[in-house]
Amino acid sequence: MGKTARYVVGRVLGAALSLLAVAFIGFFLFRVLPGDPVRTMTEDQAVSLEQLEALRAEFGLDQPLWQQFVDYVVQLAHLDLGTSFQYRGAESVAGLIGEKLLPTILLVGTATIISAVLGLWLGVRSGWRNGSVSDRVNTGVALTLWSVPTFWLGLMLIIVFAAGLGPIPDIFPAGGMRDPNVTGWALVPNVAMHMVLPVTTLVAVVYAQYLLVMRSSLLDEMGSDYLLTARAKGLRDAAVRRRHAVPNALLPTVTLIAIDLGGIVAGTILVESVFSWPGLGNMFYEALKVPDLPLIQGLFIFFSASVILMNLLADLVYPLLDPRVRR
């Protein structure tokens, strides 16, 4: 028991430490960003010198760096991520993140689940029929899609399915998460429609990973002795595959999902931009251009914290799935 407890505590502490490091980096990295937020925000507007000064004071930018850092730390200690420079109508950065969290999770969650399921299913079929035509085709298609830049694929999908090309009708929306002024249950099919293209893009470029990992893990397993034993016992192929080979081959794939969350965040930034999806990814990218320091810091911490958390979960869940690791 002691060993498990130590493992858990160790992992949790490690995660906490990482988070702390992220918080510190989050401050210094972005203060180095070029650009004066006040100047960028008031560009082209008829503002007086007093107004500029007032804005600077409001944002705390007239303070020396160490003072700003102290304020930042104190705020963080209260779990307050500050107020965005740009979105002054919103209550706080935390509030903004909360608002845009659901759209991003909807997109990312759906895409991850679908690509994992698709990848695993195809990976199993491919691995089992290793060397056959269907294996080659599966793997080939997956690899090709994986090599395509995400944003480019998104643009192509918009051209073909949202704009309509030749005989293909333009049935999908050109962007956004939903049509304005639709509420209640009618939202479900509406949002689903808007999700189709962005999710397809995300899935297409990512599922290859799961497919290939599953396939190679399965191939590893298939060469094992215990499977020969199972076969010798008279088990049907499908049963052998399902009850023995697949579960064991599943393990590396599970960790892969957790580890690649950073990559998923990246994909989100691009897909949200191309498809005008109102989520966190694009908010971050836009904030960099100002630079909207509290928002950038908050989002950076949030993204990193999510990945750290997912990794922690994976670390804690993996031993449950694989008894070998536990011992």
Partner 1 sequence: MNWSSFGHGSSSTSPAADPAATRPRSTRWAVGILAAALAAIGLVATLPGGAPSPAAASEESGEEPTTLTVGVVDPTVDSLNPFTSIYSTPTQIHRLMYDYLTMYSAEDATPTEGLAEDWEFSEDGLTWTYTIRDDSTFSDGEPVTADDVAYTYNTIMEDDSGAMANSSYLDNVESVTATDEHTVEIKLARPSASMLAIDIPIVPEHVWEQVENPGDFSNEDEYPIVGNGPWILTDYQRNESLTLEANEDYWRGAPGFDRLVYRFYKDGDAVVEALRKGEVSFVSGLTTLQAQALENEQDIVVNEAVGKRFAGLTLNPGAEAKNGESIGDGNPALRDPEVRTAILHAIDREAVAERVYSGKLEPSGSYIPSRYADYHWEPDESEIIAYDPDEANRILDEAGYARGDDGIRVSPDGTRLTLRQYVHSDIPEYLQIAKFMEEWLAEIGIEVETTPSDDIGGFLDSGEFDILFTGWTVNPDPDYIFSIQTCDVRPAEPGESYQTDSYMCDPAYDQMYAEQKTELDPDARAEIVQDMQQELYEHGVVIIFGYPDMLEAYRTDVIEEGSPQTQPAENGNIYGQDGYWGWWSAQPAGSGGGSGDDDSMSPVAVGVGVGAVVVVVVGGFLLMRRRSATAGQRE
Partner 2 sequence: MSATTSPSVPRHLAWARRARTVRRLWREFRRSRPGLLGLGVLLLACVAALVAPLFISPVELSVSRAPGPFVAPPSWDYPLGTDKFGRSILDLIWQGARVSLTVGFLATFMSVFLGTLIGIAAGHYRGWTEAALMRFTDWVLVLPTLVLAVSLVVVMGRGIGTIIIAIGITAWPVTARLVRAQTLAVESRPYVERAKVLGGGHWHVMTRHVLPNVMPIVLARTTLLVAGTIIAESTLAFLGLGDPSRISWGSTLQEARDSGATSAGLWWWILPPGIAIALVALAFTLVGRALEQVLNPRLRERL
What residues from 161 to 200 belong to the interface with partner 1 (CB under 8 A)? 162-163, 169-185, 187-193, 196
Q: Which is nearer to partner 2, 98 or 262 (CB)?
A: 262
Q: How many CA atoms lie within 13 A of 316 on its CB side?
A: 15
147 binds partner 2 (CB under 8 A): yes
| Residue 323 token pair | 């008894």
CB contact set of 220 (below 8 Å; sequence gap of 6+): 249
H-type helices in the chain, by residue range?
2-31, 37-41, 49-58, 65-77, 93-128, 133-147, 150-157, 187-222, 225-232, 237-240, 246-259, 261-274, 280-288, 293-321, 323-326
Of 72-80, 87-95, 189-197, 303-311, the window that binds partner 2 (rule: CB under 8 A) is: 303-311
Q: Which is nearer to partner 1, 75 or 216 (CB)?
A: 216
Which of partner 2, partner 1, none does residue 46 bind to, with CB < 5 to 8 Å depending on kind?
partner 1
111 binds partner 2 (CB under 8 A): no
Cβ atoms 83, 92 nearer than 8 A: yes
Query: Minimal distance in Å, beta carbon 145 to partner 2?
Result: 9
Q: Which is nearer to partner 2, 149 or 189 (CB)?
A: 149
Q: CA separation (Å) from 315 to 27, 151, 211?
A: 28, 32, 22
Number of other residues whose CB lies within 10 A of the CB of residue 249: 24
Residues within window 163-182 making contact with partner 2, judged by CB under 8 A: 163
Q: Which is nearer to partner 1, 282 or 297 (CB)?
A: 282
201 binds partner 2 (CB under 8 A): no
Token pair 């995400």: residue: 150
77 binds partner 1 (CB under 8 A): no
Which of partner 2, partner 1, none does residue 41 bind to, with CB < 5 to 8 Å depending on kind?
partner 1
Which of partner 2, partner 1, none does residue 243 bind to, with CB < 5 to 8 Å depending on kind?
partner 1
Q: CA separation (Å) from 158 to 154, 252, 260?
A: 6, 34, 26
Cβ atoms 138, 211 nearer than 8 A: yes
Q: Which is nearer to partner 2, 45 or 147 (CB)?
A: 147
Of 52-60, 152-160, 187-195, 228-236, the window that binds partner 2 (rule: CB under 8 A) is: 152-160
141 binds partner 2 (CB under 8 A): no
Q: Which is nearer to partner 1, 20 or 189 (CB)?
A: 189
